[in-house]
Amino acid sequence: MKYLTAIIFAVAIVLAAFFLGNSYVERANPKGSIQVTGSGSEDFTSDLIVWEGTFRRANPNLVEAFEALDKDKETVRSYLVEKGIASENIIYNSVQTHEQRESQYQNGNYVGSVFMGYELIQPVKIESTDVELIETVAREITELLNKGVQFNSTPPRYYYTKLSDLKIEMIAKATEDARIRAERIAQNSGGSLGDLKNASLGVFQITGQNSGEDYSWSGAYNTADKKKTASITVRLEYDID
């Protein structure tokens, strides 16, 4: 019985030493980890265009100025509809009214101003998914001069209505790219890829294709170019077994 007790005690000491030693080794040699960054990008063409412009009238009489502007408004609407733009895509904002005054000077000193009349400005915005049509009309808008309307327009802005779906596809691409990079690094170092510890998204960027546009730390969102490139980065951290 004494021998049996001694054997059990010895085995217990050996097992305890083994587990304590293994625990020390694990603490002394913790699992390594690896951090990688993957990227995903996609070229796309905008499917929504926004084009804005203004036309104006000036007159000493406010009522007459408004009546003239209202006639111009109908001329502009008819022109745009004739060009193929649907009426519901033509949005008129509120009229801006400014007093026109002429500064008066006496002996080089400002002594006040004289009322000259009113200037009324009518902003108009066109939104459409028919990008090519609006581009054509924007180029030909000076034809309104022949109708007595001086139309001043800004360059069109371009957007993409399926941006949310595009982001999901790009995140998947960037994640896969990062995982492949991590696997290769782990293999080259003689280990294997373990569990994913952490994942984070980088900045989402939209730049014009072949525009030479710089990336921004806060994220670029190009609206000047019809053809664009979207990109995103994903940072992953894995255990190394």
pLDDT tens-place string over residues 110-167: 878 888 899 999 999 999 999 999 999 999 999 999 999 999 999 999 999 999 999 9
Predicted local confidence at residue 217, as pLDDT:
67
Same domain, 143 and 220: no
Predicted local confidence at residue 88, as pLDDT:
93
Same domain, 140 and 61: yes
Same domain, 55 and 131: yes
Predicted local confidence at residue 69, as pLDDT:
96
Q: Which of 158, 191, 219 is the last residue of a domain?
A: 158
Determine contact, residues 42/229, Cβ cutoff 8 Å.
yes
> How many domains, in total, are found in the chain?
3
Query: Residue 213 belongs to a domain with what CATH number?
Result: 3.30.110.170
Same domain, 62 and 149: yes
CA–CA distances in Å: residue 169 to residues 3, 23, 71, 166, 231? 70, 44, 49, 5, 11
pLDDT > 90 in the chain, percent = 61
Q: Which of 107, 140, 158 is the last residue of a domain?
A: 158
Predicted local confidence at residue 17, as pLDDT:
43
* Burial profile 70-94: b = 16 or more Cβ within 10 angstroms, e = fewer: eebbebbeebbeeeebeeebbeeee
Q: Enumerate the H helices of the chain as residue ranges.
A: 2-28, 62-82, 131-140, 163-188
Predicted local confidence at residue 101, as pLDDT:
86
Distance CA 117, CA 94 (A): 20
* Half-sphere exposure for 15 (CA within 13 Å, toward CB): 6
Distance CA 49, CA 222 (A): 13
Range of the domain at 194: 31-45+162-240
What are the residues whose beta carbons fall under 8 Å from the beta carbon of 31, sequence distance 6 or more?
194, 239, 240, 241
Same domain, 53 and 145: yes
Predicted local confidence at residue 194, as pLDDT:
85
Predicted local confidence at residue 112, as pLDDT:
85
Same domain, 56 and 141: yes
Q: Which of 142, 158, 174 is the last residue of a domain?
A: 158
The burial of 190, by beta-carbon neighbours within 10 Å (0-12 exposed, 13-18 middle, 19 or more buried), is given as: exposed
Same domain, 72 and 147: yes
Taking 50 as the pLDDT cut, the residues of the chain under it are 2, 4, 6, 9-30
Predicted local confidence at residue 106, as pLDDT:
85
Same domain, 125 and 200: no
What are the residues whose beta carbons fall under 8 Å from the beta carbon of 91, sequence distance 6 or more?
124, 125, 126, 127
The burial of 46, by beta-carbon neighbours within 10 Å (0-12 exposed, 13-18 middle, 19 or more buried), is given as: buried
